[in-house]
Amino acid sequence: MITRTSATRARSGALVFSLALVLLLGWALRIHDLDARSLWEDEGWTMLLSAGPSLGDVVRTMAADQHPPLYFMIFRVWRNLTGESEFAGRYLGVLIGMIAVAAAFPLGRALFGVQTGVVLTALLLALADLHIDLSQEVRHYSLLATGVVLSSLFYARWRRRPGRANRIGYVLATLLLLYTHYLGAYIVLVQALHMLLTLRGRRLGEGVFLLGAVGLGFLPWLPVLIDQNRVRWDNPLYYQNALPNSPETFRLVRTALLGHYYAILGSLILLGLVYLRWPRGEHVLRPAVRLRPLWPTLYLGLQVVVIAGLIVAINERRQFLTVRNFILLTPALAVLAAHGLANLPRLARAFLVTLVVIVALTTVDARRHYPDWRAVVGNVSTYHLPGEPVLMDVWVGDFPARYYVDRQLGPDTPRISLREWRAEYRELFLPRLLDFLQTHDAFWLIYWGDAPLDEYGGLIGEAGFQRTATLWVDHLGTPLYSFRYDKLPPTRAATFGDLFVLRRFAAPQTAAPGTAITVALWWTAEQPPPLDYSVSVFLLDAAGTLVAQHDGPPLDGRAPTSAWQPGALQFDAHTLHLPPDLPSGPYTLGVKVYWYGDGLPLPAVTGTGEPGPFAPLGTVVVGTP
């Protein structure tokens, strides 16, 4: 015989197991491909704003920005503990997002009782693509969503049982919300309206007191908010990604919130605004529909209507709308859809839950395509030589670009944001840039735009530079360039036939066995090359035996010789991997040029010597350091 106690324990065990599965699913979805995408502009900005070194420095930095400081302070502590990698930085968002998923379970129960709270709300939030996408960012939106869930949870609990713990929890959760993002004020406004519409007498007075406590807690930051708002709308840097009020924008928002299967989820949300009771013992299911208790559905409905309405109305005057702003609505929509599922008979509920899970796991509705700044800087780091400065003219793309320059090239690599220089030097920008360039023989320019660089006029050429390499990464049909510039050397290191002149080369004088060395070459063509030639760079021992070699078209095929113009300087680089058992001693560095069709090298001449199959460039001494 199964006792009531054992049945209760069995249900509790099943509930805990189901919730654990939902949390595991939510974590797996958020951890999947966490560092597959490059950091985008705002994530790079987060890395810069939270640099510190102390929490006080972070707060002062945020006071000059447009956001409150809480997330950036938390992230400062986090990066101190976990390091600077993309995975580590984004994993904080995953953990914060999982708190929201876990807290969605008691939120659904606090609003609609056990049936809705039994995993359904947590499951729908775990599957929400917008929440997944924003939990994978080094940004504050996952903390914003968690603040919405926690503030709503303690508000609903206080609404049912006004105890001390729920009052304190509400004040602290709402302060977390406001100190994370100013959009959290929309939730507080909805709560204030909900109190006015549903509470009377002493309870209303207590609600006003709680709102006053929240206001008192936010008061120290209020002067900063006022000061930030004075300049908020004057700096286009802040709102360059804003979208207009248009049917296309609203379709983007609808897809991000409800997915491409919005008809299913939208119907469940509408069904969640009522209560259905299914009489037993009847052959025909005729549910009884009722609206009470009204306050839970009114609270969630107000969130959807008021917040969406305010965002659209304000955007009409001050354009600030982005799809990620609507993360505020994700918890409310998840609770309503879960209540809609709970309204259905068990078989229909199981079918729809299965359908929603399958569709959610096989479709992606809110994953944005970021510019691949990791690959853009990777183009530079592949061929970068020590000491060469990296200039960035990519608007706010310089935020993530500088992160990757530091990671891939080292923090001591000179890097300059031309956007910041324009703002700092104004009419003196071009003279300042010319003075800087004249002190260098080479530089890299990361550029987002169409070549040629008309805004510089003839400044780069005036400083004596030629563009020697053009690399790019495609972003939705727009190239993100990595240009290399060098000054034309007056020397000739070698001549290959009547086609090519090796103007200069750079190679390490020493190397260790088992390491890789990079040999840089600067070429010009004497006449238009008729074919795509290959370059071979190699090391020979004292007996003339080949010990290391790299063959291929110039710049790994990115600078085919058939496209070279006579007299134009071309940069090339080849990496030689030395065998780990290579004996110590001097090795001859050689270069030859040939066409792969016949493999015959062009006659190479160095100095006044006789032509040979290759040009000896010097010696590399191999030894154990």
**In whole angstroms, what is the distance from residue 97 CA to residue 125 CA?**
10
Within-domain flag for 177: yes
Domain extent for 126: 14-362
Has residue 282 got a pLDDT over 70? Answer: no
**In this structure, are 403 and 326 located in the same domain?**
no
Alpha carbons 477 and 368: distance in angstroms, whole number:
15
* Domain end call among 449, 468, 487: 487
| Among candidate residues 500, 491, 493, 489, the one with its CA nearest the CA of residue 603 | 500
Tens digits of per-residue pLDDT, 351-401? Answer: 999 999 999 999 999 888 899 999 999 999 999 999 999 999 998 899 999
Helix (H, G, I), strand (E, B) or coil at 364: coil
Residues 603-623: what's their mean pLDDT?
A: 91
* Residue 548: Cβ within 10 Å count: 22
pLDDT tens string 489-513: 888 999 999 999 999 999 999 999 9
Q: pLDDT-based confidence at 126, cuts 50/70/90? A: very high
Which class for 568: exposed (0-12), middle (13-18), buried (19 or more C-beta within 10 A)?
A: middle
Query: What are phi and psi for residue 215, nearest 5 degrees?
Result: -60, -40
- Exposed/middle/buried for 459, CB within 10 Å: 0-12, 13-18, 19+? middle
Say yes or no: 243 and 103 in one domain. yes
Half-sphere exposure of 182 (CA within 13 A, CB side): 15
Q: Above 90 in pLDDT, residue 247?
A: yes
pTM: 0.91
- Residues 178, 312 share a domain: yes
pLDDT band at 144 (very low <50, low <70, confident <90, very high): very high
Vertex 470: Cα angle to 468 and 475 (nearest 5)? 165
Closest C-alpha to 95, from 170, 149, 44, 146: 146
Q: Are residues 336 and 481 located together in one domain of the fold?
A: no
Which of 315, 338, 362 is the C-terminal boundary of a domain? 362
Query: Does one domain contain both 500 and 418?
Result: no
Please choose, from the candidates 33, 39, 270, 21, the residue with its C-alpha nearest in 3D space to the C-alpha of residue 127: 21
The two structure tokens encoding residue 603? 């006659």
Q: How far is residue 51's CA from residue 67's CA, in Å, rounded to a whole number?
A: 15
Residues 456 and 586 in one domain: no
Least Cα distance to 152 among 187, 196, 115 occurs for: 187
Share above pLDDT 70 across residues of the chain, in percent, rounded to a whole number: 95
Domain assignment of residue 4, yes or no: no
Q: What is the CATH number of the domain that holds 566?
A: 2.70.50.60
- The answer to the question of residue 7 being in a domain is no
* Mean pLDDT, all residues of the chain: 92
Distance of alpha carbon 189 from alpha carbon 8, whole angstroms: 40
Give the integer Cα–Cα distance in Å for 255 and 144.
20
Asked if residue 599 and residue 478 are part of one domain, the reply reads no
Lowest mean pLDDT among 409-423, 445-459, 493-507, 552-566: 445-459
Question: Distance between terminal CA atoms of the chain?
Answer: 79
Q: List residues bridging with 590 in a β-sheet.
A: 538, 616
Counted residue by residue, the chain has a size of 625
For residues 402 and 254, state if they share a domain: no
509 and 479 in a common domain: no
Half-sphere exposure of residue 568: CA atoms within 13 angstroms, side-chain side: 15
**1, pLDDT greater than 50:** no
Q: Which two tokens stand for residue 562?
A: 């058939």
**Is 562 domain-assigned?**
yes
Q: Are residues 343 and 246 in the same domain?
A: yes
CATH number (domain holding residue 463)? 3.40.190
Q: Give a yes or no: residue 368 inside a domain.
A: no
> Does a structural domain hold residue 304?
yes
pLDDT of 31-75, one tens digit each? 999 999 999 999 999 999 999 889 999 999 999 888 999 999 999
Residues 345 and 289 placed together within one structural domain of the fold: yes
Asked whether residue 62 falls in the same domain as residue 195, the answer is yes
Residue 244 CA from chain centroid, whole number: 23
Q: Is residue 452 part of a domain?
A: yes
What does the pLDDT average to over 120-124?
95
Residue 113 has pLDDT above 70, yes or no: yes
Task: Count structural domains, the chain.
Answer: 3
Q: How much is the average pLDDT of 168-194? A: 98
Question: d(Cα 362, Cα 595) in Å, to the nearest integer?
Answer: 49
Single residue among 362, 382, 410 that ends a domain in this structure? 362
Judge whether 390 lies within some domain: yes
Residue 164: per-residue pLDDT = 94
Listing DSSP states for 533-564 in one string gives -EEEEEEE-TT--EEEEEEESGGGGTS-GGGP
